[in-house]
Amino acid sequence: MNLQGRVVLITGASEGIGAACARELAGRGAKLVLLARSEKVAEVARETGGEAVRGDVTLAEARQEFVDRAVQVHQRVDVLVNNAGVGIYGPSHRASMAEMRAMFEVNLFAALEMVQLVAPVMKQQRDGMIVNISSIAGLVPLPWFTMYSAAKYAVMAMTDGQRMELAGYNVRTMAVCPGYVRTRFQDNVLSGRPPERLWRNRRFAITAEECAQATARGIEKESRTVVTPGVGRVLVAARALAPRVVDHFLRKIYADLDIA
């Protein structure tokens, strides 16, 4: 897909991966409509020449206003980037159910409801692309992140299923699976903290800008799945070939949390 002149909607666009995607895609000629709760979304919109909608993606009225703005201003929707997300660190067997439901509301249900709003527009156009920001945790379950992994696994399944559902309308889907990205994600989790060993050892971390570049390239190539950085594919392959070995390695990292 050539991004020049394409209308792109991005959720969670005030900072981190969302804001980086806005800058990267605008640099490739896209016309942007951005959604976020933070007032910073207006700054990103001014910087990228886009439209800003301030609102909570988990609220129906905010989602509707977001899509309506895109259609009113541009008369079409070419790409949806479902980026808004939140995490929880800690064991699933004693997690707060209220926090679990809040996390799934953002990471899965809001993303699904965004797709339900843009799909009719894309089907009528007989063209479009849905990009769901998942995680390496959506391919390999991380024990310090069990329910976040579950939510991102669900995003992966949704992405793959929607690819088949919408293929007849020339609507493509792509999942993006970043590893550790240097953003304020850890500061904004609903609860918990990452293992110290993981926190200290960030050799394979990437910037939000690098993640955005990989996402943009994936959209242009109409990829099915983007794993970034590439070393993440090694972990995915290793778990497929030697799951017990990978489980043992991840359990050792989880032990740093010292929780029962």
Is-contact 253 144, C-beta < 8 A? yes
Does any domain span residue 135? yes
Of these residues, 148, 153, 180, 254, which one is catalytic? 148
Residue 12, pLDDT > 90, answer yes
Measure the CA–CA gap between 177 and 115, rounded to whole angstroms: 18
More confident residue, 45 or 195: 45
Does any domain span residue 1? no
Residue 257 banded pLDDT, cuts 50, 70, 90: low
pLDDT of residue 190: 81
Annotated active-site residue 148? The verdict is yes
Q: In CATH, what number is assigned to the domain containing residue 61?
A: 3.40.50.720
Q: Residue 190's closest CA among 112, 94, 83, 85? A: 85
Q: Which of 34-48, 192-206, 230-244 has the lowest mean pLDDT?
A: 192-206
Measure the CA–CA gap between 35 and 77, rounded to whole angstroms: 14
Does any domain span residue 2? no
Does any domain span residue 103? yes
pLDDT above 70 coverage of the chain, percent:
94
Residue 79 contacts by C-beta under 8 Å, 6 or more apart in sequence? Answer: 1, 3, 6, 7, 8, 9, 25, 30, 128, 129, 130, 131, 219
Amino acid at 69: R
pLDDT above 90 coverage of the chain, percent:
81
Does any domain span residue 117? yes
Whole domain around residue 17: which residue ranges?
A: 7-257
pLDDT of residue 203: 59
Read off the pLDDT of each residue in 93-120 and give the average, rounded to a whole number. 96
Residue with tokens 């379950």: 141
Does any domain span residue 149? yes
Euclidean distance between the first and the last CA atom of the chain, given in angstroms as a whole number = 48
Dump pLDDT digits (tens) for 145-201. 999 999 999 999 999 999 999 999 999 999 999 998 888 777 778 887 766 666 555
Tokens for 185, please give them: 């994600």
Give the pTM. 0.93
Residue 259 banded pLDDT, cuts 50, 70, 90: low
Residue 59, pLDDT > 80, answer yes
Q: Residue 132's closest CA among 113, 123, 237, 238? A: 113
Does any domain span residue 123? yes
pLDDT of residue 98: 95
Q: Which of 92-106, 154-168, 184-198, 242-256 has the lowest mean pLDDT?
A: 184-198
Q: Residue 137's closest CA among 189, 66, 96, 63? A: 189
Question: What is the domain count for the chain?
Answer: 1
Which residues are 225's β-sheet partners? 175
Does any domain span residue 195? yes
